[in-house]
A and B are shown apart, each in its own frame.
Chain A
Amino acid sequence: MSNRNILGLGIAGLVALLLPLVVHDQYVLHIAVITFIYVGVTVAWNLMAIGGTLSLGHAAFFGVGAYTVAILYVNLGVNPWVGILAAMVMAAAASMVLAVPLLRLRGPFFTLSSLAFVEVLRLLAIWAVPLTNGSVGITTPPDQGFAFISFENRQPYYFIVLAMVIVVVAFSVWLYNSRIGYHLRAMKTDEEAIRALGVHTNGLKVGTLAVSAAITGAFGAFAALYLFVIEPETQFSMTLYSVQPALNGIIGGMGTIVGPIIGAVLMTPLGEWLRTSFSGVQGLNFMIYGVALIVIVRLMPGGLVDGWKKLRGWMRRGANSNKKDGE
């Protein structure tokens, strides 16, 4: 993580802060809010990817966060700001179910368990009618103002989710460069070696899982308040909140800082655009996603960030060799 990258992130954040001054179009702001939600979830997903773990379970944490805030708010009258904190705690607690497979299984099998976990929670959300209102879902009251994170306009949502994104990205930068981050990166390369050096890899894995889940839960809670309707098929949607964050991360560059952000910022508006322009043709947008994933993995296994680096290195070498030829 060079200073230049941090500077770039800072500039991007500043531009994002100033955007609503220029753009007043509610639809554009809506796309921006959705994009920020995906940036948040993808960055959270990526925390695990730094350590080499591929999770497809993040829809579970997203859904738990959404349901926590909604149930507390609608059934018990708990303020949504408090609800978001509770959502983080609940998502982290739920993630501990996955700690068992995380420590027992490697690679593909953990990924599969995480996928199965989403299915289980979705079915539980449909089943537990007294708590979740089943497949009908829960509706949160609109237009309650700042104290209840519920507005008529998109601007306030925009600033709240942007603030959340800034905190999460800052945290991710800090973590990546911290001692824990070094351990995570080393664990990705050679788990045995780092364990031999005395690093408690189990604690590292479970801790990262919990933090990643808590962040995802916070964004799930925010999304619940933003969308007003919370129901199992959407909040626990594997395609929307498990596969898509993973795709964003992979396309941008899994395990890097900037990659997941770039992936989410590029892919979310693209996905929304595909969805609305081909709204009559079901499935087309995700067909393109699937193909994009296969192509990216085949041609640029390191994602866009790595592809860009390679391209620059290649151009620089080309320039140097030209110079040599000239001499």
Chain B
Amino acid sequence: MTFLIQALVAGLLLGGVYALVAVGLNIIFGVVKITNFAHGELVMIAMYFTWFLYTSWSVNPYVSLLIVTPIMFISGVLLQKFILEPMQDSSANMKIFVTLGLSVFLQNFALFLFGGQFRTVTVGWAEQSITVGGVSATYGRVIAFVVAILLVVALFWMMKRTMLGKALGAIAEDRDTARMLGIPVKRYYMVAMGLGAALTGIAGVLIIPFQAAYPLVGAHYTLMAFVVVVLGGLGNMTGALIGGLFLGVIETLTGTYIDPALQQVAVFAVFIVVLIVRPQGIFGGSARNAEVGLK
């Protein structure tokens, strides 16, 4: 029984990070209507960045949040302004190609700069375990989970309560009407992209104490984030949160009870089954789905 609870807890902790990455993707998706195939690569960049700050100037990863997050935000804004904005009216396939090109470039840029080795950052205390009722987890993972959940909740609040959030929501709902109401859509696109990128930045920093950086690490997060978004329903923040946690649990349970090598296989199997049973995602889709290509 403790064994099962242990696995469930580990899954939830992992799922929190997936949710964080997926929420960023969801904002980009919902507002900018770009399927960002390079989303995980942004996580990867943030990881390398944190590693670099740590090895060059021994900056503690949790301190480097203050440096990495704003820089990722700016990167997202620049990405939108110079690469994605000119593609705004192109077909969905063209948008895929551009972000795919970006992802191929970034992966190999990392390989070029840092080689294929695993780069790790060790924070002594973050690797120690906290044990409650026989169930244990490392501080690093607990912190990652707590921060991720707090951020997702804060985003929720922002989307519902602030002017920025309402404007983003309006653009997500109907871009043309939003524009007619005087919302500077292009500027908000940059903000949304920046926000999404900043979230990947935070995720990257939070996971580096327990997940090594290597050029292909982002590909895993891209896939997970997309599966979460499909499961949770496009543009649905609650869906992304629950979807992320759900995925983390599936991955860990498979690893514990079946075979660690089959974790991804299980995730994909669940994905296919959900598609068959509920193609609009667990938390229902909306008319918005049509624009980015979900039926």
Q: Interface residues, chain A, CB within 8 Å of chain B?
A: 52, 54, 56, 97, 100-101, 104-113, 115-117, 119-120, 123-124, 126-127, 238-239, 243, 246, 250, 254, 281-287, 289-294, 297-298, 301
Confirm or deny: B226 has a beta carbon within 8 angstroms of a beta carbon on chain A: yes
Q: How far is the CB of A190 from chain B (nearest CB, A)?
A: 13
Given A100-B275, A282-B112; 17 other pairs, CB 8 A cutoff: A100-B272, A105-B275, A105-B279, A111-B96, A123-B264, A127-B265, A238-B219, A289-B105, A290-B101, A290-B103, A290-B105, A294-B83, A294-B102, A297-B90, A297-B94, A298-B87, A301-B90
How far, in angstroms, from A86 to B90 measured CA to CA in the complex? 41
Q: Is the pair A117, B105 in contact by a Cβ cutoff of 8 Å?
A: no
Residues of A within 8 A of B35 (CB): 107-109, 112
Q: Is the pair A107, B293 in contact by a Cβ cutoff of 8 Å?
A: yes
How far, in angstroms, from A123 to B261 measured CA to CA in the complex? 7
Q: Is the pair B215, A283 in contact by a Cβ cutoff of 8 Å?
A: yes
Q: Are A116 and B223 CB-contacts (below 8 A) given A54-B96, A239-B104? A: yes
Q: Is the pair B265, A108 in contact by a Cβ cutoff of 8 Å?
A: no
Q: Is the pair B90, A282 in contact by a Cβ cutoff of 8 Å?
A: no
Confirm or deny: B149 has a beta carbon within 8 angstroms of a beta carbon on chain A: no
Task: Please list the 9 inter-chain residue pairs (A to B) with the smallest Cβ-Cβ separation, ordered nearest first.
Answer: A290-B105, A107-B293, A293-B101, A283-B111, A283-B108, A108-B35, A290-B104, A283-B112, A286-B108
Q: Is the pair A108, B98 in contact by a Cβ cutoff of 8 Å?
A: no
Q: Is the pair B102, A107 in contact by a Cβ cutoff of 8 Å?
A: no
Q: How far is the CB of A46 from chain B (nearest CB, A)?
A: 13
A-B contact pairs, 20 of them (CB 8 A): A54-B93, A105-B293, A105-B295, A107-B96, A107-B292, A108-B95, A109-B294, A110-B293, A113-B272, A115-B223, A116-B223, A116-B271, A119-B223, A119-B268, A120-B265, A126-B261, A250-B97, A285-B108, A293-B104, A298-B98
How far, in angstroms, from A254 to B264 measured CA to CA in the complex? 31
Which one of B86, B96, B230 contacts A298 once the chains associate, using CB atoms below 8 Å? B86
Q: How far is the CB of A50 from chain B (nearest CB, A)?
A: 13
Confirm or deny: B284 has a beta carbon within 8 angstroms of a beta carbon on chain A: no
Q: Are A290 and B96 CB-contacts (below 8 A) given A113-B271, A123-B262, A238-B219? A: no
Residues of A within 8 A of B83 (CB): 294
Number of B interface residues at 8 Å Cβ cutoff, please give it.
49
Q: Is the pair B275, A287 in contact by a Cβ cutoff of 8 Å?
A: no
Q: Is the pair B104, A243 in contact by a Cβ cutoff of 8 Å?
A: yes
Which one of A105, A109, A120, A298 contacts B264 once the chains associate, using CB atoms below 8 Å? A120
Q: How far is the CB of B229 from chain A (nearest CB, A)?
A: 9
Q: Are A100 and B96 CB-contacts (below 8 A) given A239-B104, A294-B105? A: no
Residues of A within 8 A of B272 (CB): 97, 100-101, 113
Q: How far is the CB of B20 from chain A (nearest CB, A)?
A: 19
Q: Is the pair A105, B219 in contact by a Cβ cutoff of 8 Å?
A: no
How far, in angstroms, from A104 to B219 measured CA to CA in the complex? 23
Residue in B97, B261, B262, B279 with the greatest tally of chain A CB atoms within 10 Å: B97
Residues of B within 8 A of A126 (CB): 261
Q: Is the pair A116, B97 in contact by a Cβ cutoff of 8 Å?
A: no
Confirm or deny: B184 has a beta carbon within 8 angstroms of a beta carbon on chain A: no
Residues of A within 8 A of B116 (CB): 282
How far, in angstroms, from A127 to B265 measured CA to CA in the complex? 11
Residues of A within 8 A of B294 (CB): 105-106, 109
Q: Is the pair B226, A112 in contact by a Cβ cutoff of 8 Å?
A: yes
With both beta carbons as reference points, the residue of chain A lying nearest to B35 in the complex is identified as A108
With both beta carbons as reference points, the residue of chain A lying nearest to B224 in the complex is identified as A116
Residues of B within 8 A of A124 (CB): 262, 265
Q: How far is the CB of A229 from chain B (nearest CB, A)?
A: 20
Q: Is the pair A282, B98 in contact by a Cβ cutoff of 8 Å?
A: no
How far, in angstroms, from A287 to B227 measured CA to CA in the complex? 27
Residues of A within 8 A of B155 (CB): none
Which one of B92, B109, B219 contacts A107 once the chains associate, using CB atoms below 8 Å? B92
Q: How far is the CB of B32 from chain A (nearest CB, A)?
A: 13
Q: Are A108 and B96 CB-contacts (below 8 A) given A117-B268, A124-B265, A282-B112? A: yes
Which one of A104, A243, A285 contacts B295 once the chains associate, using CB atoms below 8 Å? A104
Residues of A within 8 A of B93 (CB): 52, 54, 107, 254
How far, in angstroms, from A219 to B105 measured CA to CA in the complex? 27
With both beta carbons as reference points, the residue of chain A lying nearest to B34 in the complex is identified as A108
Q: How far is the CB of B91 from chain A (nearest CB, A)?
A: 8
Q: Is the pair A120, B219 in contact by a Cβ cutoff of 8 Å?
A: no
How far, in angstroms, from A116 to B226 measured CA to CA in the complex? 10
With both beta carbons as reference points, the residue of chain A lying nearest to B36 in the complex is identified as A108
Residues of B within 8 A of A101 (CB): 272, 275
Confirm or deny: B107 has a beta carbon within 8 angstroms of a beta carbon on chain A: yes
Confirm or deny: B174 has a beta carbon within 8 angstroms of a beta carbon on chain A: no
Which one of B104, B223, B265 contacts A289 once the chains associate, using CB atoms below 8 Å? B104
Interface 0/1 of B254-267, CB less than 8 Å to A: 00000101101100
Which one of A97, A120, A294 contacts B98 once the chains associate, using CB atoms below 8 Å? A294
Residues of B within 8 A of A109 (CB): 35, 226, 230, 293-294
How far, in angstroms, from A124 to B94 measured CA to CA in the complex? 32
Residues of B within 8 A of A112 (CB): 35, 37, 223, 226
With both beta carbons as reference points, the residue of chain B lying nearest to A111 in the complex is identified as B96
How far, in angstroms, from A126 to B265 measured CA to CA in the complex? 12
Q: Is the pair A108, B108 in contact by a Cβ cutoff of 8 Å?
A: no
